[in-house]
Amino acid sequence: MPELPEVETVVKGLNSEVAGLTIKSVPYVSAHLLKRDRALRKLEGEGFDHFSRRGKFIIGHLMSGKRVLLHLRMSGRILVEENHRRRTKHDHLVLAFEDSTRRLIFRDVRKFGIFEWVGDEQQKALDQLGPEATEITSSSLRELLRSSSRPVKALLLDQHKIAGLGNIYVDEALYRSRIHPLTSCQQITNAETGRLARAIRYILRTAISKMGTTFDSYSGVNGNPGEYASYLRVYGQEGGICPRCKTEIVKITVVGRGTHFCPECQKLKSSIV
DNA sequence: ATTCTCACCTGTTAGC
DNA sequence: TGCTAACAGGTGAGAA
């Protein structure tokens, strides 16, 4: 679910709703979060200075200089509730603040998400990320493409190469730049590289301005859905028609992921170089 | 080193 | 209608 635009939206929400607040108590931490980080209860007394994003990670910067790392993975959500409702089945962390009736809730149906202190292991994960997808340039992308023969979609999903893209925006960017998702990286022309880099930046910028895509369960910290879903051209549109050429959008599997594209606009080149 | 497959969990939906 | 299997937006460990 949450890719770069959704995470960016959550970070903005946290900066506006939670930055500056001091944690009064930790009313609830689930066993599975504590298993990963025994010290989570020590958030009590810490204050949030601000939040930032790196790829799909959320970093909470505390006034003490310490940091916490959050990742929503597939189904994680961060909610800020003004008048706390009863904890739901899938809430794994609840923070209460001083001088505020607000509560921060980390909810995650599938329990893949993380919420933990930044230590060596977490810092290493951050250090291994590729450049931000929002800042990818034609030349930096060309460099990445040159070194690989994987399908271009695999490269774009690899956070060590480019950070922030996920299944939705990769499909949309490949559609916009008219590249078949199975195209080998090395077969991508300079013209296509330019189109792809531009498409990635454009789509992410637009999706951020629409507060992301709510396909199923994602929402911002206030529970508001993202509005980009109605702009999707291929993702989830199988059976629908291509807005450019009216050909039917198809769905296949690429590197184990559902992959949507227009077979007319995004033709696979012959393997003859 | 790079790349692929599987596992992590739960809910929803396609298919019989 | 009811059951089972497959699938879902992400990533890391371990294997090839």
Lowest mean pLDDT: which of A59-63, A161-165, A226-230?
A: A226-230
Whether residue A87 lies in the annotated active site: no
Query: For strand C, is any atom closer than 7 Å to the CB of A126?
Result: no
The one catalytic residue among A111, A257, A263, A269? A257
Whether residue A257 lies in the annotated active site: yes
Spanning CA of A71 to C1' of B8, the rounded length in angstroms is 15
Cα–Cα distances in angstroms (integers) from residue A159 to residues A71, A102, A224, in the given order = 13, 33, 27
> pLDDT at position A266, please?
95
pLDDT (average), residues A217-236: 90
- Summarised one tens digit per residue, pLDDT across range A132-152 is 999 999 999 999 999 899 999
Question: Global pTM?
Answer: 0.95
Residue nearest to nucleotide C8 (CA to C1'): A74
- Whether the pLDDT of residue A216 is over 90: the answer is no
Query: For strand B, is any atom closer than 7 Å to the CB of A186?
Result: no
Spanning CA of A234 to C1' of C2, the rounded length in angstroms is 34
Look at strands A103-108 and A76-81 and give their pairing.
Answer: antiparallel
A271 CB-contact burial (10 Å; exposed 0-12 / middle 13-18 / buried 19+): exposed
Looking at chain A, which runs of residues are DSSP E strands? 23-29, 48-54, 57-62, 67-71, 76-81, 91-97, 103-108, 114-117, 250-254, 257-261
* A216 CA: nearest nucleotide by C1': C9
Whether residue A151 lies in the annotated active site: no
> pLDDT at position A1, please?
66
Query: For strand C, is any atom closer than 7 Å to the CB of A258?
Result: yes
- Whether the pLDDT of residue A273 is over 50: the answer is no
Query: For strand C, is any atom closer than 7 Å to the CB of A202?
Result: no
> pLDDT at position A272, please?
43
